[in-house]
Amino acid sequence: MPVTVRIRNVQSIRDATLRVEGFTVVTGPNNSGKTASQRAVRGVFTNASPGPLVRHGESHLTVDLTFGDGRTVKWEKGEKVNRYTVDGKVLSTVGRGAPAEVAALGVGEVKAGSDRLWPQIAEQFGGVLFLVDRPGSVIAEALSDVDKVGRFTEALRLAESDRRSVGAELKVRRADLLAAEQELAGFDALPNAASQVGQAEQALADAESAGVDLGVLNNLSVRKQAADREISRLSAAPVGVVPTPDEVSLVESVRLQVHEASCLLGERTRYLREVGRLAQVSSLVSVPDAEHALISMSELSGLTGLFDRLSSARAREERAQRNHDGATNLVKVPSSEVFARVSKAKDMLADMANCSVRNNNARADIATATRELEAAKKNLALLTEEVNTLLGSRGECPVCRTFCDTGAGGPHPPADG
């Protein structure tokens, strides 16, 4: 299992980090910190005295161990500091020797006779291999503990398995790195492509702007050609025929007045048709005079009173019949001829009233139409005079496009609504 070791303020080492994985050998010149690193690691598992270990001028030392399975151990030692932190748990009340939480990690010395051996951390001045430089009795006693030997063998096997697994993983990762580098090489031209895309987008925007401008130019060209044709057509006209802007404005106002006069003539024609229709109606229906109408209304009032008396008599008759008091002999009921006369008189009165209203409306319409007709005639005469004055000797009317011989004194023909 790999272990990352960080050592701070231990003898000549101010701050150093090393990684122990499998069989690891630390080499270097004298006074480079080899012994200090070995003492620092072993001190974690023995809680060694800080006297000869703490760097000169520092209050305490610190050693951090991070195992491959995620477990961590932090050892802090000084004159006033004696503290462990195991997997985040702080152990501040530590006596002599390492606490049980640290011993449970399985790193410690092995007793073989009178010797004490460290299978995980070789001694400073001992052999480089475990038990190789020991006497036969020590080797025999150490190997007699089969359980410990089995654990060491299993540890070596797991270490070798981890090494092979890491080697295979490293080979795969190197292949992946090579493939990624090859794939990345294909994107080397990406900045140039991005620049070309930006240039293409700018060219497209310029083309779209040019297309809009071209459409505007085409429209202006069409309008210019139309104006050129109009200028060519007007250039053939004799000098003096083309009116000035003031004359054009005056002709436009006259045209509007002529149009208004034409509308008035149309209204006059409609009123004349209505008057004719009312005249035909008046010829078919005889309208009584006022005196005869008053007499008829008086007779109608008498008939109405008679009708009311008749209705009252009928009501009394019905009450008498319901009471069976024989009162029917006391009431004289008018004959059916009287009722017929009353009905006829009421119909005549209604017809007379209707005819009178229609006659009054028709007379009012005729009077209004006559006034509007007279005003239209006057307005038309004024407009005709203004048009003849404006045309002068030109001959052709710019409104109706008719030819008028104004030079011979002929008037401008009136507009037809």
Residue ranges of alpha helices (H) inside 186-244 are 190-235
pLDDT at position 84 over 90? yes
Question: Which residue has tokens 């790999």?
Answer: 2
CATH of 3-162, one of 3.40.190, 3.30.70, 3.10.450, 3.40.50: 3.40.50
Q: Encode burial over 197-231: b for 16+ CB neighbours within 10 A, e otherwise.
A: eeeeeeeeeeeeeeeeeeeeeeeeeeeeeeeeeee
Residue 415 has pLDDT above 50, yes or no: no
* Inter-CA distances, 378 with 89, 261, 373, 383, Å: 120, 10, 9, 9
Mean pLDDT of the residues in the chain: 76
pLDDT over 90 (residue 7): yes
Burial of 186 (0-12, 13-18, 19+ CB in 10 A): exposed
Q: Quick check: 395 pLDDT over 60?
A: no
pLDDT on residue 127? 46
User: pLDDT tens-digit profile of 100-111?
Assistant: 888 888 787 766
Question: Which pLDDT score, from 0 to 100, does residue 408 have?
Answer: 44
Straight-line distance from the first to the last Cα atom of the chain, in angstroms, rounded to the nearest whole number: 116
Asked whether the predicted pLDDT for residue 124 surpasses 70, the reply is: no
**Locus of tokens 């085409």:** 218
Six-digit token pair at 80?
């006033």
Q: Which residue has the higher pLDDT, 76 or 236?
A: 76
How many Å apart are CA 120 and CA 136, to the nearest integer?
Answer: 20
Per-residue pLDDT tens over the stretch 295-354? 767 776 777 777 777 778 778 777 776 765 544 454 455 556 666 776 777 777 777 777
Range of weakest confidence among 142-151, 177-186, 340-349: 142-151
- pLDDT of 402: 59
Instruction: Write the CA distances from 144 to 136, 139, 153, 414, integer angstroms.
Output: 12, 8, 14, 146
How far is CA 5 from each of CA 2, 9, 68, 161, 413, rounded to the nearest angstrom? 10, 13, 11, 22, 122
Angle between helices 336-391 and 290-323 (to 10 degrees): 140
Average pLDDT of 133-148? 59
What value does the mean pLDDT take over residues 7-31? 88
pLDDT per position as a tens digit, 233-277: 776 655 555 667 787 788 788 888 888 888 888 888 887 787 777
pLDDT band at 113 (very low <50, low <70, confident <90, very high): low
Domain layout of the chain by residue ranges? 3-162, 247-408
Banded pLDDT at 405 (limits 50, 70, 90): low
The angle at the Cα of 369, spanning 366 to 371, to the nearest 5 degrees, equals 110
Q: Per-residue confidence at 403, pLDDT binned at 50, 70, 90? A: low
35 and 53 Cβ atoms separated by less than 8 Å: no
State the pLDDT at residue 327.
Answer: 44
Q: Is the pLDDT assigned to residue 357 strictly greater than 60?
A: yes
Between these two residues, 62 and 20, which has the higher pLDDT value?
62
Please tell me whether the overall predicted TM-score, pTM, comes out greater than 0.75 for this model.
no
Lowest mean pLDDT among 114-123, 359-368, 380-389, 407-416: 407-416
Residue tagged 């007793």 (tokens): 111
Q: Is the pLDDT of residue 201 over 70?
A: yes
User: Which class for 141: exposed (0-12), middle (13-18), buried (19 or more C-beta within 10 A)?
Assistant: middle
The 10 Å CB-count burial string (b at 16+, else e) for 46-85 is bbbebeebbbeeeebbbbbbbeeeeeebbbbbbeeebbbb
Distance CA 261, CA 274 (A): 20
